[in-house]
Every structure is written in structure tokens, then in C-alpha cells.
Amino acid sequence: MFDKNLIVYLNGKYLKLEDASISPMTHGLHYGTGVFEGIRAYKIKGGVGIFRLQEHINRLFYSAKKLGLDISETKNEINNICKTLIQKNNLESAYIRPLVYFDDSALGMKIGMNETHILIAAFYWPKYLSNEVDVKISPFTRISEKSTVCDAKISGHYTNSFMATADAKKDNFDEPLLLDHDGAVAEGAVANVFFIRDKKLVTPQKGKILAGITRGSMIELANNLSYDVSEREIFPEELKDFQGAFFTGTASEITPIKKIMLLNNEEIIFDTKSTKDLQEAFVDSIGENSIDEKKWFTMIL
């Protein structure tokens, strides 16, 4: 997937990917003790811009603090590294992956034994999901706010997403939809979820989910389109009352859901056209002809 000549940033140096070595005894590799972000850059009017860069970097630092990772670079320095990587790799459209993790100084659960390392890569990556997806409710429960800091983007959390996705793919579905420990809808494997009924938009409330940055952008766009947006618990038995549904996320952007299979094997069919105005509003904000009216972009000059 990756060109060995891709330029990445590793602990203060710009290196070719093939020269960016990480110890096999890295603590983050063994225990998932790392945090990361997924950020996109788009070609818009005026050049290449990174979408909501500052919000992503703010969350990176929040997640790192929750895990006890001490990032030596400042937020502004990381912003500039992201810009530089796009320039060095000659990218007009990019996915940016900052990863902060504990090194190989020691294994085990003792705090303070390991140093913090940082890797940042920027590369071309198309939209993660297809244009429309079939979804099943996963038998795996979404990680709980009672067992971890569930609004931090911690690497180890994603074994939960990986297992749910593998289960969905096994049954020929595109994506899983995970419930929380109370049985309410939480989120997809790597995306937030919204449901539509007329001009009302409903999404799971903060506290039990990773409240995505694209999710927040969609709420803002929906408000501008005169949608009544509510954040609340949504239970599977309610899903038949909605007209449409879609995922939001950095990698998946806006992806309509065609159907959801419940745990009792009942299938809920959605009208994917019901999401059209919201999809168009998002595309208008990130497309090549878009102007950064909302100040969502950090331009690469």
C-alpha cells in the first residue's frame, strides 16, 4: 500500500518510510499504549487545505494526556509538520496520521518507565467506505466509558472496532453498528452515525462515543439547513421509524446506510436519497470549488 519513498516524520527527523524503524519491543505495539488522529487535506479554491487541523491536534493532545504520553512538540510545531509532509510528498489530497506512543524502554504496566515517541505520515487514501453501505448490529458491545476514557482516540480501543468489522465482513456486511452497554446505538467501527426523519436529525449523545470532528461539522451544516438536530439515546427498536441513516468520519466522510440488520435478523431499509442535501452540503464545503467560508481549513502555502 505504501511507497517506500514516502516521507514521514519520526522523532524530530524527516525520513523515507523504509528508513523509519521502530523497535519490535515498542510498548505501544505490545499493549496498544498509543494515541492517534486521522486528518484529511483537500484541494479547494486557493490551494491545498487541511480540514479542521487544529481541532484534530487539540484532540491528539487530549488523548495523549489521558494516557500519560508527554508530547515534546508543540501544537504549532505539529501543525507545521503536517503541512511540510504534504509538500514533501507532493500531495493535493491526503490523509494524515499522527501517532504518539510509548517506546521500547520497558514492558509492563509501570508508569513513567517509557519515553514518548511520535510518528506522522501523510499519504493518499481514498474514501474509506463505499458510496452506500449495508450494516449489521454487532454482537460486540462498544467499549464503555466505565472501563476507559472512551472519548480519547487510543490505539488499543480499536481492537474492539477490528473485531466488530471482522464479524460484519464474515456475514457479507460492509460495516458493523455497535451498541453501548445499555443497549443504545453507539457508533460504527470507525464512524459516528446519524438518523433522519423529515427535517429532524438524531445522533447518539456524547459521553459513550468518540464525538467525531466530522460529526460536529455535520451538526453545524444541518443546523444551517434548518434541521432540528438532537443528541440522545437511540435504541434499535426505534430504527424502523427513521427514513434515512448515514455514517460520518474523517476516513469515510459522509456515507449513506442502505440497511441495518438487527440482532434478531430483522432488516431495516433506508432511503439513501434522504441524505442527499446533507451530503451535498458537506461536499460543497470540501470540494475543489469550495471557498473556506467556515474557516475550517488550514491552508498550505
CA distances from 20 to 118, 130, 191 (A): 11, 32, 30
Could you tell me how many residues make up the chain? 301
90 φ/ψ sector (left φ>0, alpha ψ -120 to 50, else beta): left
**All three cell numbers of 163:** 473485531
DSSP state of 274: G
Could you say which of 83, 136, 153, 258 is catalytic?
153
DSSP bridge pairs for 197: 200
The question of whether 13 is a catalytic residue gets the answer: no
8 A C-beta contact, residue 172 and residue 202: no
The C-alpha atoms of residue 33 and residue 101 are separated, in whole angstroms, by: 6
In the 8-state DSSP scheme, what is residue 254? E
DSSP class of residue 294? T
The span from the CA of 209 to the CA of 186, in Å, is 6
Residues 213, 225: Cα–Cα separation, whole Å: 19
Spatial distance between the Cα atoms of 210 and 204, rounded to a whole number of angstroms: 10
Tally of helices (H runs) and strands (E runs) in the chain: 6, 17
H or E segment and range at residue 278 = helix 276-286
Classify residue 296 by its DSSP letter.
Answer: -
240: CB partners within 8 A, 6+ apart: 268
Q: Which residues does the annotation mark as catalytic?
A: 153
